[in-house]
Every structure is written in structure tokens, then in C-alpha cells.
Amino acid sequence: MDANKHKILNDLAQAVIEMDAPRAVKAATEAIYCKIDPYEIITDGLARGMDKVNELFEQEEYFVPEILLCADTMNAGIEVVRPHLPKENTRDKKKVVIGVVKGDTHDIGKNLVKIMLDNAGFEIYDLGRNVPYAKFVDTAGELNADLVCLSTLMTTTMDGMQVVIEDIKNAGIVSRIMVGGGPISPGFAKRIGADGYAKNAAEAVKVAKGLFQNIHVPLTFKTPELVRVRKKNS
């Protein structure tokens, strides 16, 4: 990586860590001007800063107010980059229902996944956070959704994903289902009957596309068998 790019990406990460939104906006603008790939600006710059923030939270150096200011800073940078993300305009847009399951209000990661899928040409219906199980099922049914994306960051709410998946299947809805979030592993995703899992937003786009191209996308943690395509009416 050339030195200037390295410097700008570090600056973006540092701006998030230091809760400095004007600096994030300036560095993001510079990154765009220097033609750094918009996805790299988000994943290797802003989101990398947020990863460090998570560590600081775990080490009890940062607390709730800091976390929220860091997230605002990341979002300020993303807003600069967003218009520059390559927008894929597919004719047959797949409908995606996305949300964070009941009991969980963490939505920073879900929002990143949403932005990436939106730019990749999916039609997004965002149910938000702390979403009742039935809301996923009802919305997927009403919209005849192609994909339902479930997010959670807490071990205490993981099991809710399984409830949603079972309810969707029991209702005869044929939407594919992708899961993700901090405590979710490929093994857990497979066990609860999900069609796909991704460890981050960039992977989520690859996996989502793979689900509709009838191809196996190599997943993180070496579980490509997880992407199985459920045939309609099966």
C-alpha cells in the first residue's frame, strides 16, 4: 500500500477512535480525492477504527457516551463516502428484509450491512432494532422477500434468530435467510437452519449474491457448505 493511502486510512481510523467527526469528514474527503476504493475507506479506515473502539470498550477505557460518539464519527465519514460507492443497478432487484432481533438494540453493524447491500443493488426494507420475531415473519410474507437478514450482538438474544427462522419456514415463506453479528459463528448459523452467514458487511454482499447465483461463495471460517440454495416450494 502506498504511504499516502496508508496515512489517510490510519487518519480515518484515528478520527473514529478520537471521536473527531470533522477530522473523519476531512480524511474521507481526501480519500475520495485520492481515489482510494470507497469500500476500503469504510472497511480499512472507518470500521477498523470502530474495531479498536470495541477493544477500548472491552478494556473499560471507553464507556457508553464515547462509544456513541465514535459511532457518530464513523457515520459522518460514511456519509461522505456513500455517494461514491459503486451503485449496482440490477433489473431484477432482490428484496431484503433486515433487522436486529428482539431484545437487542445494537445496530451499528446492521446499518453497515444495510449500506453495503443497498449499494450492491438489493432493495432494502429495514425493520430497525429490537424487532419482534413476528415482524420479520409478517414483513417477509407480505413483501414476498427474497432474503431476510438477522443481526444480533448479544449471546442472550442469539436464540431469537432460531425462532424467527423456524417461524418463517413454518409459515411456508421461501425467503432465504442470512445471519450475522458478534457472537454468531458459521456453526451456529448452520445449526439454526440459516442459508448464509458472513462475518462482516463486505462478506455479507458476497454471500447474499452467492445465494441468488446458485454458486458456492467461500465463506469465512471455511464453511462453504453453509450456502445452500433452497429451491422455491421445497
Judged by the rule CB under 6 A, the positions of this chain that interact with ligand B12 are 47, 50, 54, 57-58, 64, 67, 71, 103-110, 112-113, 149-151, 153-156, 178-183, 198, 200-201, 204
Given a contact cutoff of 8 angstroms between Cβ atoms, the answer to whether 171 and 121 are in contact is no
Distance CA 31, CA 35 (A): 6
Helix, strand or coil, per DSSP, at residue 33: helix
Distance CA 169, CA 164 (A): 9
Distance CA 212, CA 163 (A): 24
DSSP code per residue over 1-16: --HHHHHHHHHHHHHH
For the bound state, the minimum distance from the C-beta of residue 216 to ligand B12, rounded and expressed in Å, comes to 16
Fill in the DSSP letter of residue 174: -
Given a contact cutoff of 8 angstroms between Cβ atoms, the answer to whether 221 and 199 are in contact is yes
In the complex with ligand B12, which residue's Cβ is closer, 178 or 226? 178
In the complex with ligand B12, which residue's Cβ is closer, 34 or 51? 51
For the bound state, the minimum distance from the C-beta of residue 96 to ligand B12, rounded and expressed in Å, comes to 9
In the complex with ligand B12, which residue's Cβ is closer, 3 or 228? 228
In the complex with ligand B12, which residue's Cβ is closer, 2 or 58? 58
For the bound state, the minimum distance from the C-beta of residue 89 to ligand B12, rounded and expressed in Å, comes to 23
The single residue listed with the C-alpha cell 430497525 is 128
In the complex with ligand B12, which residue's Cβ is closer, 31 or 177? 177
Contacts of 76 (CB under 8 A, 6+ apart): 21, 24, 25
DSSP code per residue over 177-204: EEEESTT--HHHHHHTT-SEE-SSHHHH
Question: Which of 110, 106, 142 has the alpha carbon at shortest distance from 126?
Answer: 110
For the bound state, the minimum distance from the C-beta of residue 32 to ligand B12, rounded and expressed in Å, comes to 21
For the bound state, the minimum distance from the C-beta of residue 207 to ligand B12, rounded and expressed in Å, comes to 7
In the complex with ligand B12, which residue's Cβ is closer, 8 or 186? 186
For the bound state, the minimum distance from the C-beta of residue 3 to ligand B12, rounded and expressed in Å, comes to 27
